[in-house]
Amino acid sequence: MPNIKIFVSHRIDLDSETIDNPIYVNVRCGAALDPRKGAAMPGDDTGDNISEKRGTFCELTVQYWAWKNVDAEYYGLCHYRRYLSFSQHRFSNTNEDNMIPAPVLTRNAAKKYGLLDRLEMERLVSGTDIVVAEYAPVENILAPLGKQTTVQGLWESYDGIFFEKSVITLMFELIDTFSPEYTKSARAYFAGKFHRGYNCYILKKELFDRLCSFQFPILFELERRLDTTGYTETMLRTPAFVGEMLYGIFIYHLTNCEQWRVKELQLVFFRDTRPVHGFVDLAARYCRGRLVQGLRAAMDPFAPRGSRRREALKRIYHAVKQWKITNLDKEL
């Protein structure tokens, strides 16, 4: 069977459930910045690494670490909350991003989405070169400036929220300089109607090497040129967002300009991945998850994700939450 390693990027400020399957390699993202001592989960801070860039490159620090330090036949990447579904069943309850929303990550949930079936995963992957999440039609995605018609319009909607939209022009310039073989695909993908995001994939070794060789030189040069004066914490993640754009361009190029065996899978989004403590806790998580899902659906039309209005509401929510915690501590 092929040597498959799917690297799961975990936060250093949150304990999350892991999948009981040796194909998944759990890694602390930004481990060089982890204040905890003696954490059992391996980190991305050994060997050749960019672990200290967690705040700007996000899960790409795990990808870089895997590229430079681990040998495998197939390399995958996913997040502590997003996993490719290997279930043979197709789920219809997808959201506007074409992801399957799931309230809580439990063993039963992992089994439901085929994450525990090592033999089936090996069988499927061994017959392909590329395994990726299905694309999301741009016209279905609620963006800060309303629904858009192209990938470029979708990304530009986040101007001043996730990044400055001028960075897209800079990205194109850097592609022309560092990887001109992707120039046409970059423009075609951004002019298209189908978005590939979230950096969740499994690639044959030679393709993984090509992806990293494409992304990181551009991202390092982009980071060097950025003037981040006045950036918010979110905008400091500009290299990570551009890395996601480059991922979409790369997959577009492979699937439209070259001949590879490709398998598309559904992507599952687990809203809550904290360890569950008993049935009552689990039931409460499910109820809360359904409530949050309903509130978000009601909020999306007038405060789309990433919009300034949505961010303002989030700041108010977290301020109230922190106030309650602080005052409860005083009472105790």
Residues 55-95 pLDDT 10s:
999 999 999 999 999 999 999 999 999 999 999 999 999 99
Spatial separation of the C-alpha atoms in residues 14 and 80, rounded to whole Å: 10
Q: What's the pLDDT at 314? A: 59
Instruction: Write the CA distances from 224 to 81, 170, 276, integer angstroms.
Output: 30, 12, 42
Domain hosting 279: range is 1-127+266-301
pTM: 0.89
Residues 123 and 270 in one domain: yes
Examine residue 328 and state whether it is found in any structural domain, yes or no.
no
Closest CA to 210 of 259, 169, 251: 251
Residues 242 and 276 in one domain: no
Q: What's the pLDDT at 187? A: 98
Q: What's the pLDDT at 324? A: 42
Residues 41 and 119 in one domain: yes
Q: What's the pLDDT at 307? A: 63
Q: What's the pLDDT at 322? A: 47
Residues 133-179 pLDDT 10s:
999 999 999 899 889 999 999 999 999 999 999 999 999 999 999 99
Instruction: Write the CA distances from 8 to 136, 195, 231, integer angstroms.
Output: 22, 22, 28
Q: What's the pLDDT at 283? A: 73
Q: Which residues pair with 82 in a beta bridge?
A: 269
Per the structure, how many domains does the chain have?
2
Examine residue 330 and state whether it is found in any structural domain, yes or no.
no
* 74 Cβ contact partners less than 8 Å away, ≥ 6 residues apart: 2, 3, 4, 5, 125, 202, 203, 204, 205, 208
Examine residue 104 and state whether it is found in any structural domain, yes or no.
yes
Residues 235 and 86 in one domain: no
Residues 184 and 270 in one domain: no
Q: What's the pLDDT at 223? A: 98
Examine residue 76 and state whether it is found in any structural domain, yes or no.
yes
Q: What is the token pair recorded at 77?
A: 């990447």
Residues 164 and 53 in one domain: no
Residues 296 and 183 in one domain: no
Each residue's pLDDT expressed in tens, for the chain with a length of 332 residues: 899 999 999 999 999 999 999 999 999 999 999 998 889 999 999 999 999 999 999 999 999 999 999 999 999 999 999 999 999 999 999 999 999 999 999 999 999 999 999 999 999 999 999 999 999 999 999 899 889 999 999 999 999 999 999 999 999 999 999 999 999 999 999 999 999 999 999 999 999 999 999 999 999 999 999 999 999 999 999 999 999 999 999 999 999 999 999 999 999 999 999 988 777 777 777 677 666 666 666 656 666 666 666 666 656 654 554 454 344 444 44
Q: What's the pLDDT at 294? A: 63
Residues 116 and 185 in one domain: no
Examine residue 100 and state whether it is found in any structural domain, yes or no.
yes
Examine residue 254 and state whether it is found in any structural domain, yes or no.
yes
Examine residue 331 and state whether it is found in any structural domain, yes or no.
no
Spatial separation of the C-alpha atoms in residues 153 and 194, rounded to whole Å: 11
Spatial separation of the C-alpha atoms in residues 325 and 160, rounded to whole Å: 31
Q: What's the pLDDT at 331? A: 46
Residues 56 and 80 in one domain: yes
Examine residue 323 and state whether it is found in any structural domain, yes or no.
no
